[in-house]
Structure 1
């Protein structure tokens, strides 16, 4: 009987060892770099500057300087903010945008911000505070950066587009350490498939929680919002196109300038994956900024 029990146990152990459930799962395939990732390869900022320190974390601005820049210049600044649902991403993702505008004579900057995490306690409100702090830092250090403080353009993709809009719209959301005498409101906004509606019909409602309306751009449009251009695809199911359309309508009703460039059938992030669409976006943005007198 003793030998029979041993044999049964041995057989069970052998079968478990051969079971697919116990086998090591294959590693997930890495996501292939898209057009914008490929363009970032080899790009390197002129310098990296800390703009804010929270606890032990220093947040950085990745600065691309134009040729011939010197302290005391009055160059326009193009600040770009990466997406990733507020939970991921790095400044490198948007290097190609910053580098493009540096080539056109601006100071291009790709910024870092705290990432949303229940574990660390970082909220979307904290992400918003960082974006507003970054604009204040740029304006407060405009002379040494060679920037005209009245020519600051803020742009971003997806959640980064939300944070760009946040610099203009969410007046009560500020870091305690910020100098509130310096305005975080930019002179123009360039929003790429942005999170623009944080209701349940939009994106981010669950992450923000019951205070979602405080951070919903479409619910905060008012007269005096900076001139804005939005790039959005009608096939976007992540940040639905309806939100971008509603935002533009609210902006026009409030007497603000707002252009909506529509990509028929374009899914979320469409212009980041296709170099031709990316270049078309930059060309249209250039025209928009020239009309505003922000780009020569």
Structure 2
């Protein structure tokens, strides 16, 4: 649980450490969740926390008993030291509040770990001239407590307000949030049990945007490649309504299929929350992903004639479109050879799901309306209670595939909604059932053994 002020919560004009820390924990293979009554927006939608913008540590002390009883986290990340003025001489009462917060949490849960941060420095002076003294006293307090379950985390050291804050000289910019996340992570690995797997993809740029940013592929390569042997490839597009999401969603699947001998790729693409784009730009990116993989086939030992496109929800729509949407000159090297679709939003027509522009131009974007004999074989998984992708839509998709004499496996998951399972939560038997069925489909088409 992140506990603090606006530096924990984040804001429209500045970053916070929550999402970059979430990325680091997920990539390191840990099973975890962020909890709290408040939410902060990020590229995966939102993350929960106990950050209260504009509030002091004394405010947190007044609320912590009820807050922690409702959200009894195993680990508390406490960073709170702003929102006072130097002329108040606030340090003694702030230290008293820290001690009270720690005591109240430990009364409720004696096994809790509390990571007590020395707060990041600020150049907003003279208001925050007290912070160096505060950080000295925080260190002294933690040492005096002498508890292995209350640990000092030095967020101040190496944090440079000139490089790491926005124009207000207080709140972290993207680099500052990343630095804070790195410091938290270094402290967390000292108390967390070792994870079973750590994900280490090769991350390469496949496209440069007009603003100078790059889009990346996260490539998981199989071991023991010999000679010039080429391998089948599966590329995943994350879900999130063309608005949110992260390639990290499919790290588990990528690592698994790389262990089965495939080249596995999690693709980033433009989304509305970050790039203010439409699904049409997302689809252009998806096409460029396949083109890049084919143009770099020899470098990554990719069989250019065995590329499976996969994805969930909006990512499933992009994957499906790679196998169905043709431009005037054909597929021009972006068509996938196999489709593995998880609750894909395939109907973007006038009565389907999507933006108004999609519905007006559905013949350019809607997989359901563009199936042909050139569509590759499809694996299609959807829940019977999915409020976005109905069973009727899934069955119509399968019927159109059958009419065009193309293989389509439709798997209905009784009682499941949208999504079928949540990748950010503990995995259940549904996840492994989906994997089992996907394995069988890939074996049938010669992609794995």
Report the CA distance shift for 1:102/1:173 in structure 2 as closer, same or farther (over 3 A). Answer: farther
Is the Cα–Cα contact under 8 Å of residues 114 and 127 in structure 1 kept in the other structure? yes
Distance 1:269-1:173 versus aligned 2 partners, 3 A rule? farther
Structure 1 residue 295 corresponds to structure 2 residue 448: yes
In the alignment, structure 2 segments of 5+ residues that lack a partner are: 1-36, 41-45, 49-194
Distance in 1 (CA, whole Å) between partners of 2:421 and 2:327 is 33
The answer to whether the aligner puts 1:98 opposite 2:109 as a matched pair is no
Cα deviation for residue 169 of structure 1 reads 1.6
Q: Helix, strand or coil for the counterpart of 2:375?
A: coil
Who is 2:88 aligned against? none
How far apart, in 2, do the equivalents of 1:48 and 1:129 lie? 20
Which stretch of structure 1 is more off in the superposition, 281-290 or 203-212?
A: 203-212
Looking at structure 2, the residues matched to 80 and 290 of structure 1 have their Cα atoms a distance apart, in angstroms, of 18
Q: 1:226: which partner in 2?
A: 376
Number of equivalenced pairs: 258
Measured in 2, the distance between the counterparts of 1:87 and 1:234 equals 25
> Which of 31, 36, 39 is the matching residue for 1:28?
39
Q: 1:181 to 1:208 in 2, by over 3 A?
A: closer
Q: Where do residues 65-104 of structure 1 align in structure 2 (5 Å cutoff)?
A: 65-69=221-225, 72-104=228-260
1:240-279 superposed matches below 5 A: 240-272=390-422, 274-279=427-432
- Where 2:421 maps in the other structure, the secondary structure is helix
Partner of 2:207: 52
Partner of 2:60: none
Offset at residue 151 of structure 1 (A): 1.3
Instruction: Give the match's secondary structure for 2:374.
Output: coil
- Residue deviations 1:64-115 (CA, integer Å, cap 9, x gap): 1111236733111111110000001010011111111001011111000011
Which of residues 266, 283, 290 in structure 2 aligns to 1:110? 266
> Is the aligned partner of 1:203 residue 2:353?
yes
TM-score normalized with structure 2 length: 0.54
Q: Which has the higher contact order (CA 8 A, sep 6+)?
A: 1
TM-score (norm 1): 0.80
Alpha-carbon distance between aligned partners in 1 of 2:355 and 2:276, rounded to the nearest angstrom? 17
Secondary structure, counterpart of 2:229 in structure 1: coil
Q: Alpha-carbon deviations, 1:253-273, whole Å to 9, x = none?
A: 111110100112210112336
Distance in 1 between residues matched to 2:365 and 2:250, nearest whole Å: 23
* 1:10-59 Cα distance to aligned partner (Å, 9 max, x none): xxxxxxxxxxxxxxxx6338658xxxxxxx99542331011111211211
Q: CA RMSD in A?
A: 2.5
Q: Which residue number corresponds to residue 166 of structure 1? A: 321
Task: Please report how far the alpha carbon of residue 295 of structure 1 lies from its aligned counterpart in structure 2 after TM superposition.
Answer: 1.3
What is the match of residue 339 of structure 2? 189
Distance 1:120 1:67, change over 3 A: closer
* The structure with more radius of gyration: 2
SS in 2 for 1:287: helix
Residue in structure 2 matched with residue 132 of structure 1 by the alignment: 287
Unmatched 5+ stretches in structure 1? 1-25, 33-39, 175-179
Partner of 1:8: none
Give the deviation of 1:207 after TM superposition: 5.8
Could you tell me how far apart the structure 2 residues matched to 1:47 and 1:173 are? 35
> Is the Cα–Cα contact under 8 Å of residues 77 and 151 in structure 1 kept in the other structure?
yes
In structure 1, the residue corresponding to 2:38 is in which secondary structure? coil
